Amino acid sequence: DQIQFRNTVLVDLLEDEDQILARMKSKTRYNIRLSSRKGITIRRGDGNDLADLYQMYANTSVRGDFTIRGEDYYLGLWRTFLGDEPLSEQDPIAQPLIAEYEGLPVAGAVIFRFADRAWYLHGMSLPEHSEKMAPHLIQWEAMRWAKSQGCTVYDMWGAPDVFDESDSMWGVYRFKRGYGGELARTMGAWDYPAKPFFYHLYTRWVPRVLNVMRWFGNRRTRKISTEDPN
């Protein structure tokens, strides 16, 4: 299994907004405009939104059947890069975006930026009002925000390792390719087994331990995803 994605989708932000839109697939442009017409609004979030974002992320992971880390991990990560942590001395390099319908959150994303690049690392949504295509509008607003911050590349972070419709990431990949980006391939992360015997033990037993940890983590996530945020 890959630890870090070998492949990703990069959207060029050097052109103006009309040109960026023109490169997108027609269905993606349609969904962006549909979302706005259906009453979805996007606002920039702050530290007060992070707990709600995590609950949406937990809900998304349960529906999508993928494993995420615990709440403390993400809240600590987001707060640190937002500059909210007391010991943080860096300028904010993360921006939460919240999609709302009639004042209630229905989707979100946390975008990171550094130098001339922005990354879409975490996206989340609720099943309610999914027909309003809020995630499509969030991506467009994220690109506009990244461009306003001087970024020239928007990295959609992650594409399948094997390009086959049976891949579990194929639906996500199709969503990302709709924005007109280019597929970028890298060599990925590799292990160098300095001590082959211990590496053999590691590769044999650690996955079993991780599976147990994921089982407990998924139970915790399912519980959080069903809690009433109010």
The pLDDT of residue 84:
66
Per residue in 123-179, pLDDT (tens digit) is: 999 999 999 999 999 999 999 999 999 999 999 998 877 778 887 778 889 999 999
All structural domains of the chain: 7-225 (3.40.630.30)
The pLDDT of residue 35:
98
Per residue in 188-226, pLDDT (tens digit) is: 778 888 999 988 887 887 777 666 666 666 677 767 766
Whole-prediction pTM = 0.82
Return d(Cα 209, Cα 224) in angstroms, integer.
23
Q: Which among 127, 186, 227, 177 is positioned nearest to 24, based on CA atoms?
A: 177
Contact 172, 178 (CB under 8 A): no
Contact 91, 34 (CB under 8 A): no
Return d(Cα 146, Cα 154) in angstroms, integer.
7
- In the chain, the amino acid numbered 112 is F
CA 75: distance to chain centroid?
15
The pLDDT of residue 85:
55
